Amino acid sequence: KEKLIIASPDVGGMGKVVFYSSIIGVDMGMFYIRKDYSKKLNGENPIVGIEFLGSDINGKDVIIVDDIIDSGNTIIKTAKELKNRGAGKVIIAATYGLFTNGLDAFDKAYEEGVFNRIYTTNLTYVTDELRQKAYYRTVDMGKQLAELIMAFNLDCPFNNLTDHSEQIRKLLGKS
């Protein structure tokens, strides 16, 4: 626990980070990304600064939690910033992996040791090329999706289907 931090690359992922860090019992942090909204570079507002709000990262493994990997620019810059601050392993976990700019930047970052692994769900299309990458793993959400559909069809409450804190505690041996 002392060697792990759950981090968000931006404000949008903080809810998930707070949830996971509280269940696991580890520190959390967030990056504040300053962008120049007065111009666009390759269709995006350029990043002019990255600040980390959280405890010291040096020597700790970090799990970056985000909702989506689009082009990958932000998540790769976040991982690089973690490494620059002395992070050990960097694991990326995102609900949706779109990889709209392809995989070249991810391949390069992986080869440079910027991150160790990427996990995304199967709630979006995953190419065979991505599946074959040494750094990539798919998280199957089929069972959870089927349970939600069943709850809707039977007009049942689905609160217990969306709260997986007890499952996480069991995996960690805390229940």
* Catalytic entry in 35, 108, 170, 174: 35
- The candidate with the shortest Cα–Cα distance to 130, out of 145, 116, 119, is 119
Question: And the tokens for 45?
Answer: 């507002």
Q: Are 135 and 115 in contact (CB under 8 A)?
A: yes
Clarify whether 3 is annotated catalytic. Answer: no
* Structure-token pair, residue 21: 């860090």
Place of tokens 């985000």: 66
From first CA to last CA, the distance across the chain in angstroms is 17
Calpha distance 67→48 (Å, rounded): 22
Q: Which residue has the tokens 């990304």?
A: 33
Residue with tokens 């050990």: 88
Residues serving a catalytic function are 35
